[in-house]
Chain A
Amino acid sequence: MDLLGRDTLEIVWLSLKVSGSAVILCAIISLNLAFLIEQSDFPGKRLVLSLINTMMTIPAVAIGLLLYLVLMRRGPLGGSEILYTPYAMILAQAILATPIITGLSLVAIRRIDPSVRDTAFSLGATRFQWKLLALTEARFAISAAVITGFARVVGETGMTMMVGGNIKGATRVMTTAIALETMKGEFELAISLGIILVIVALGINLMLHLVQGAGKRR
């Protein structure tokens, strides 16, 4: 088997596409959620915060199982027929990353000096314009949150396999392919994918390092 052939590249591309989509979807939800939580005062706020923290450590297979039960034919959302498609994988990965990105973004937004907000409003900003400014002010910490979320989901195996099914050419991604090929005794593809996954991980770490370095240098 060609180590960097069509099959391999297809798997790598699908991995990046699924995890990338999941993280983009999740970032939109998480950032809005973080702003909503930060800006509002409600009775159960502390509970919500500890719930987010708990969710950050929830085992991925638990999310996989739950989503499987919801999406299976007899499940409440069985009619959507997205089980064993990349959509289910994106959904699962987005659910996994949401608490992480929300929690870390919340910390980032909270770190912005309250006087930045007052200054923006005093200079005539609308609520939306203030949110954009907050994103730029906390850009380093928020990018780090998103990268951490991506790193968490791109390396995830069990959950992705449960809802994706590891179907060749359709839902087979790097981690699930490595697991399968190893079990089959086909080490070559497993090793080459393993190397690529390590490179991706390295790349992510390097980006995180650069982002944090840029944040510190200011």
Chain B
Amino acid sequence: MKIIAEDIGKTYNRKEVLASVSLEIEEGKVNVILGPNGSGKTTLLKILNLLERPDAGRLLCDGKECSLTSNAGRRLKLSRRMTMVMQNPTMFDATVFKNVAYGLKVRGEEKKLIRQKVESTLDTVRLTQAVERNALTLSGGEAQRVALARALVLDPEVILLDEPTNNLDSISLRIIEDLILSLKEQKDITLVLTTHLLSNARRWGERFFVLREGRLIQKGDRKEVFERPTSVFWAKFMGMENFLSGKLIRDEEQVKLDVDGIRLDVVSDAEGEAYATIPPEDILISLKPLSSSARNCFRGKVARIDEERAIARVTVDIGIPLTSMVTRRSKEEMHLVEGKEVYLTFKASAVHLFQSDEI
């Protein structure tokens, strides 16, 4: 099923939780909604699952409006093609078997088929031994697995997973991660999952949507979202370094970024206030000025060295502090110590610019 959200807005108790969110859920792919806690991920997921109605905008399921329809039959038909696994899922006060069977039972499936499907799904989440246990007595990880089984048993076209690996024990974590990866391989299932963890998003995702305070600030494929952030917030969230805030000015027919009087060559036609980040691995350190095609070369003094395993992060003061990443071996061969004079070289294209109004 193809789901498109158009300008979705939602307000709870006068607090705007979502504001004009537009996105397309790609069929057969793992769609990841990323963002810190409280950014509106769960609400968006509930709207996609038709559990909540948006206050503004609309949702299209296979091209037809579906979020506001008052036709209960059509709504039920659509909602039965997808299912959501909540964060900290709620178990019904019944056996594990009845919990997993619930969705099939409400669809009026035959008892024999229900038993067969439930048993094989419980086997997938490795909980066959718990079939007759009351689901309220399960641990958090086991409950999460039952919740996933409850969804999988329905063979839905779309599965929405809200923070599927939150607070899990290591066994459940592995089982659920493996399941997500195997679902990723199945091209007839569309996954929409939320997470605040970058590592999970990178591992599972194929399409990404970044939410911040109810607004969609970036979307796209892996390369677009992780390599070309369009906001300082998202770049910082990803742990990017060397944030600079300055002004783009025209200097000798060329646009440069002026940061506290230091002028960096950049690739841009714009002018005015701008923010930038330079990946530490794109900055070279040398003891003498390098003659290369790289447009930026500055002299400075080593201000600080942080060593982590085989890597050394060397912060050099060139008028502004910039951090470069070198191997420990290089650091030792170059005899880098605090106060030593060095040169930093990087390409104009390594300076990643943000338009200030995209913050």
Q: Is A119 an interface residue (CB 8 A)?
A: yes
**A116 to B92 alpha-carbon distance, docked (Å):** 7
Cβ contact within 8 Å between A124 and B92: no
Cβ contact within 8 Å between B92 and A133: yes
Q: Is B217 an interface residue (CB 8 A)?
A: no
From DSSP, what is the main secondary structure of chain A's interface residues?
A: helix
**A217 to B76 alpha-carbon distance, docked (Å):** 36
Specify the chain A residue showing the minimal Cβ separation from B153: A123
Mask: chain A, 78-115; 1 = CB below 8 Å from B; 0 = not: 00000000000000000000000000000000000101
Binds A, one of B78-86, B195-203, B246-254, B261-269: B78-86
Specify the chain A residue showing the minimal Cβ separation from B100: A123
- Residue among A115, A120, A121, A127 with most chain B CB within 10 A: A121
Specify the chain A residue showing the minimal Cβ separation from B103: A123
Q: Is B51 an interface residue (CB 8 A)?
A: yes
Q: Is B102 an interface residue (CB 8 A)?
A: yes
Q: Is B294 an interface residue (CB 8 A)?
A: no
> In which size bucket is the chain B interface?
20 to 34
Cβ contact within 8 Å between A123 and B134: no
Specify the chain B residue showing the minimal Cβ separation from A126: B76
Q: Is A122 an interface residue (CB 8 A)?
A: yes
Specify the chain B residue showing the minimal Cβ separation from A140: B93
Q: Is B287 an interface residue (CB 8 A)?
A: no
Q: Is A118 an interface residue (CB 8 A)?
A: yes
Cβ contact within 8 Å between B136 and A124: no
By a beta-carbon cutoff of 8 Å, the part of chain B in contact with chain A is: 46, 49, 51, 72, 76, 79-80, 83-84, 86, 89-90, 92-94, 102-103, 106-107, 134, 136, 150-151, 154
Known: A123-B102, A123-B106. 18 other contacts (CB 8 A): A115-B90, A116-B90, A118-B51, A118-B86, A120-B102, A121-B51, A122-B79, A122-B84, A122-B86, A123-B103, A123-B150, A124-B76, A124-B103, A126-B72, A127-B72, A136-B93, A137-B92, A218-B134
